[in-house]
A = this chain, B = another copy of it.
Amino acid sequence: MSPFADWIAVDWGTSNLRLWAIDAQGQVKIEQSSDQGMGRLTPDQFEPVLLGLCDGLLDPARVTPVLICGMAGARQGWAEAPYVSVPVTLSALGAGGVAPLVTSPLIAVRILPGLSQATPADVMRGEETQIAGFAALRPEFDGTLCLPGTHSKWVSLAQGTVSRFRTVMTGEMFALLSEHSVLRHSVGRDIAGDTLDEAAFIHGVRHALDAGGTAFATLFALRAESLVNATPPTALRARLSGLLIGIELAATRDFWSGQKVALIGAGALTTLYARALSELGPTPHIEDGRDLALRGLRAAYPHIFEL
């Protein structure tokens, strides 16, 4: 069996990157990860980082294709891959790929584009490849995808086409409020292994849904609860989480109400979204997101390098 990769897939994010060497049989030969994310690199540093991670994997007798998704294609990344505007059929994503200049004769690099939406203005970069992976796995899916995270994404997907999406900054807001606002005195720190105060979480979700537009204005009550009623930090932390996810769900009702919903993710945050959604109606299908980016890169590969 050849010691070399047939081609290389890379999910190059802001903080980290993951790289997979694919062999001639289409199997993952080697997986690497690195903290050399886009945020730490100037444009001329991407190629050396990539070559370093590919050490021993490149056949000196041929040009090895490298397909990249994520923030490497941002304006401040390696080479800008301009957004493709929705509606987008994900199998056509590769048409928007760009080729950064490389000095090595051993690689041919393409970077996939992100998606944009004119009204309401929105963008994504990286998640579209996970979504393409999901669509490759379930081509018949007609419904909504939710990708919880620092910036949650809600996506309308039908037969492999994204018609619209919405980004909500819930995760970032939770981090800012719980670590940097006056509420930090009241909600305590996240302790690994802490059990969620589920009643307080659901109280927060329900309050946000019932309060309509006013939930955002009730955040200071968490501080007051700790001062006036000595409510414990674990309960207030769960309540804050519930309130913010509830505010997000109130604002994305048109995405999940009456729809088939698939949650893409893994871990505690995905579980919270599943718990909140189940409380409100739809029991979401949970799709482990860890390998969807690779699946999306695999799906795009033949459209780019084999045509």
Using CB atoms and an 8 Å cutoff, list the residues of chain A in contact with chain B: 75, 83, 116-118, 120-123, 151, 166-169, 172-173, 176-177, 180-182, 211-221, 223-225, 227-229, 247-248, 250-252
Contacts and interface: CB of A to CB of B under 8 A. Distances in A.
B247 A217 contact: yes
* Interface residues of chain A: helix, strand, loop or mixed (majority): helix
Nearest to A116: B228
A227 B177 CA distance: 26
Contact of A213 (B121, B122, B213, B219): B213
Contacts of A224: 116-117, 120-123, 167
A227 B120 contact: no
B182 A218 contact: no
Q: Which interface residue of A176, A212, A220 has the most chain B CB atoms within 10 A?
A: A220
Contacts of A248: 217
Contacts of A116: 224, 227-228
Contacts of A212: 212-213
B168 A217 contact: yes
B220 A169 contact: yes
Copies of this chain present in the complex amount to: 2
Contact of A121 (B122, B211, B229): B229
A181 B170 CA distance: 11
A220 B167 contact: yes
A248 B217 CA distance: 6
Contact of A220 (B122, B176, B220, B227): B122
Contacts of A181: 169, 172-173, 176
23 contacts: A75-B227, A83-B227, A83-B228, A116-B224, A117-B224, A122-B221, A123-B228, A151-B182, A166-B217, A167-B220, A168-B217, A168-B220, A169-B182, A172-B181, A176-B177, A176-B180, A176-B181, A211-B213, A212-B213, A213-B213, A213-B251, A217-B247, A217-B251
A112 to B, nearest CB: 17
A255 to B, nearest CB: 10
Nearest to A220: B167
Contact of A182 (B172, B211, B252): B172
